[in-house]
Chain A
Amino acid sequence: MTKILFSDKLDKCVERWKSAGFTVIGPVQRANISTYAAVEHAAELEFGLILPDRSIKDLFFPQSEPMLRYTIKKESIDTDECLPPVGPRIIFGARPCDASGMAIDDPLFGWDYKDEYWFQRRNESVIVTIACTKADDFCMCTSLKMAPDSCKGSDILLRPLAGNKGWQVEELTDRGREAFKTIADLLQESSEQAAPIAVVEKKFDLDACVAWLQNPEHFESRFWKEISMRCIGCASCTYLCPTCHCFDIQDEGDTYTGIRRKNWDSCSFALFTMHTSGHNPRSTQSARWRQRIMHKFNYFPGKFSVNSCSGCGRCSRQCPVDMGITETLQEISKLSL
């Protein structure tokens, strides 16, 4: 017997969570793009997606975020620090790759200087993940040593029952248990079996790829040029990636009043590393693609003992020129044979 949340009770759950003060966020289909957004009713949630186009990163690390407001006066400058909006949230229906992506970035934002913007949102969010029963050709969680039902980064893991009837509930953290107390009476004990999880084919040998990347001789390999010839440097892969975290700081306003903002940035852009002198350490697109791969599978794990990739496959799925991490690591796998 396991705890079951039946689909027909979900709208009541949403009601319950809302009256308990939670904002309920979930996968929704909007015009031409699917994303995670706040909903009023369970009917707005779209559970048929393999995964939304945009990741849950946006909810923790928004594309643009005010850090402080300034007002310049005659003798002084007034500044107001902007803290992230406060309030508990339930993210219902995240995918395991998205949830683990947030856990992957925790050490980065917590290392040395603790980023309050990230951790305030992390601490106020309950991530309710739904295990995947469907996958597409781009999914690659298994290649990253994860699975369509990985728990990493989730507070609750739901395993779908056959026929969209509901979900088996697995409470993973205190934060998850606390949030589910508010709907305890809406859950039922049942012996309903979970539907089989998606089959995600292993696409490359991660250990072999990492070993190849760690060999300093391969930094100058012709491979980087060949694999990235098509890259147009649009940065879609980095923006849609749940773990890409690079940002820029820009002022927006006039001489007297304005906002200092933290905005997404991307290692795909030439300006990202351009010196004032005009010298650019990563002056070619191939050097920039090498940086992205090296950062994810060599530098980041060197610092935080975890690869900066959760295997969602968005980089390949959404790439306008059919590149992506999958293809690159598949090729590296072949090189390391």
Chain B
Amino acid sequence: MKIVARHDEAPGVKTMRLEFQDPIDHQFFKETFRTGMFGLYGVYGEGESTFCVASPETRKDYIECTFRQSGRVTSALANADIGDLITFRGPYGNRFPIEEFHGKNLLFISGGIALPPTRSVIWSCLDQREKFGRVTIVYGARTVADLVYKHELEEWQERSDVDLVLTVDPGGESPDWKNRIGFVPTVLEEAAPSPDNCIAVICGPPIMIKFTLISLKKLGFDESNVFTTLENRMKCGLGKCGRCNVGSVYVCKEGPVFTAAEVSRMPASDL
């Protein structure tokens, strides 16, 4: 796929927009991609890395991906320029069943570099805004600089049909920071969204998910109305290479999207 745009989100974090070179591949993507699915992005000579498709299912002319530069493949991707070709395999995995969310209030909770998968669901819903009830987004990062999609956060902040709660960890604020200071679970409990007729979508580092699930329980959310996405290391994406399983569940085939009820049935120490 060809890189047609790139954007620096935060220190070490980049977003790329990719366009299909082959119309057949593009057609396949259009027919199969649903929000929540993932792909394997690669640079020949370096290898492949797994991350979500960060663009929504309502915009299929391109793929956007957001990643942190940390290893061999992500460094090569970060160094790739507009016009360069990279490889993509996918879309793989299951999806967020957003038709089932029609008529319901939506609560999105996300931390740091985990906003990209949430953002795919957020835009998939906002692009058909009339089908959903109240939309609340709680997003936190370590520091102000680490917040990703800053221009979109501004857009959501300005929209009257979206409630955005932004927070940074204590010490991560800048002198002009006007939003919350505190960890995501604490801020969530303060915001106290109602669990009535509400679906929660949470993505974040394992530690954030663990404590956010406790907070959601306190707020009265039923585990079956809470969705999350697991991001385990993968090589094939096809249920054969043998590493992404949590207990007997293969994240690449049966996930990456699970309800909190499904996650709580998995052996916690394998997560």
Identify the A interface with B (CB < 8 A).
70, 72, 76-77, 108-109, 111-113, 115, 216, 219-220, 245-251, 253-256, 258, 260, 265, 267, 272-277, 279, 281-282, 287, 291, 294-295, 298-299, 302-303
Contact = CB atoms under 8 A, between A and B. Distances in A.
B164 to A, nearest CB: 25
Given A113-B238, A275-B231, A72 B44 contact: yes
B58 to A, nearest CB: 27
Contact of A220 (B42, B44, B68, B269): B269
Name the residue among B48, B68, B270 with the largest chain A CB count within 10 angstroms: B270
B239 interface: yes
B269 A112 contact: no
B242 A245 contact: yes
Given A109-B240, A246-B243, A303-B248, 10 more contacts: A219-B270, A247-B242, A251-B47, A265-B235, A265-B242, A267-B243, A273-B244, A276-B68, A279-B206, A291-B270
Contacts of A277: 70, 205
Contacts of B267: 216, 219-220
6 contacts: A249-B236, A272-B233, A276-B49, A276-B70, A279-B205, A281-B271
A279 B271 CA distance: 10
B250 to A, nearest CB: 9
What 3 A-B pairs have minimum CB-CB distances, sorted nearest first?
Answer: A246-B242, A299-B248, A70-B44
Contacts of A256: 45
B253 interface: yes
Contacts of A275: 231-233
A277 B232 CA distance: 11
A303 to B, nearest CB: 8
Interface of B: 42, 44-49, 68, 70-71, 74, 85, 205-206, 231-233, 235-236, 238-248, 253, 267, 269-271
Nearest to B238: A113
A255 B85 contact: no
Contacts of B271: 281
Contacts of B74: 276
A214 to B, nearest CB: 10
Given A219-B247, A276-B74, A298-B248, A247 B233 contact: no
Contacts of A216: 267
Contact of A281 (B205, B232, B238, B240): B232
B253 A112 contact: yes
B253 to A, nearest CB: 7
A110 B194 CA distance: 46
B61 to A, nearest CB: 22
A281 B246 contact: yes
A272 B269 CA distance: 16
Contact of B232 (A247, A273, A299): A273
Contacts of A250: 47
A246 B246 contact: no
